[in-house]
Structure 1
Amino acid sequence: MRRWPRTGDNDPFHAGSVELADELRRESGLDIILGFNEFCSPSLAEALDRAALSASRIIVITPMMTRGGEHSAVDIPEAIRAAREKHSGKEFAYAWPFPTRDIARFLSGQISRFV
Structure 2
Amino acid sequence: MNSRVPKDRRNMLEALSTATQHLEDLGIEEDAHGFQEQQEQQRRWRRQQQKPKEYKVGVIVVDHGSRRKEANEALESVASEFKALSGYELVEPAHMELCEPSIATAFGRCVERGATFIICHPFFLSRGRHVAEDIPNLLEEAASIFPGVEWALSQPLGLQADIPRLMQQAVEECIAEKNIQSEDHADGLPMPEFNI
TM-score (norm 1): 0.74
Deviations 1:34-72 (A, max 9, x none): 111122211111111222222222211011141044322
Say whether the 8 Å CA contact 1:65–1:103 is kept in structure 2: no
Alignment partner for residue 167 of structure 2, among 97, 107, 111? 107
Aligned-partner Cα distance in 1 for 2:169–2:78: 18
Alignment partner for residue 51 of structure 1, among 110, 119, 124? 110
Alignment partner for residue 77 of structure 2, among 3, 19, 24? 19
- How much identity, in percent, do the aligned residues show? 25
Which of the pair is proportionally richer in helix?
Answer: 2
Question: In the alignment, what sits opposite 1:5?
Answer: none
> Structure 1, unaligned stretches of length 5 or more?
1-9
Aligned partner of residue 78 in structure 1, secondary structure? helix
Question: In the alignment, what sits opposite 2:53?
Answer: none
Aligned partner of residue 101 in structure 1, secondary structure? coil
Question: How many positions carry a matched residue from both structures?
Answer: 106
Aligned-partner Cα distance in 1 for 2:136–2:77: 24
Aligned partner of residue 62 in structure 1, secondary structure? strand
1:95 is aligned to 2:154:
yes
Aligned partner of residue 96 in structure 1, secondary structure? coil
Higher RCO (CA-CA < 8 Å; seq separation 6+): 1
Aligned partner of residue 55 in structure 1, secondary structure? coil
Aligned-partner Cα distance in 1 for 2:97–2:139: 15
Q: After TM superposition, what 4+ stretches of structure 1 lie above 2 angstroms from structure 2?
A: 68-71, 83-86, 97-115
Which of the pair is proportionally richer in strand?
Answer: 2
- The structural deviation recorded for 1:108 is 3.3
Considering only CA atoms, is the larger Rg found in Structure 1 or Structure 2? 2
Question: In the alignment, what sits opposite 1:79?
Answer: 138
Aligned-partner Cα distance in 2 for 1:96–1:34: 16
- The structural deviation recorded for 1:24 is 0.9
Aligned-partner Cα distance in 2 for 1:18–1:101: 23
Query: Aligned Cα RMSD in Å?
Result: 2.2
> Structure 2, unaligned stretches of length 5 or more?
1-67, 177-189, 191-196
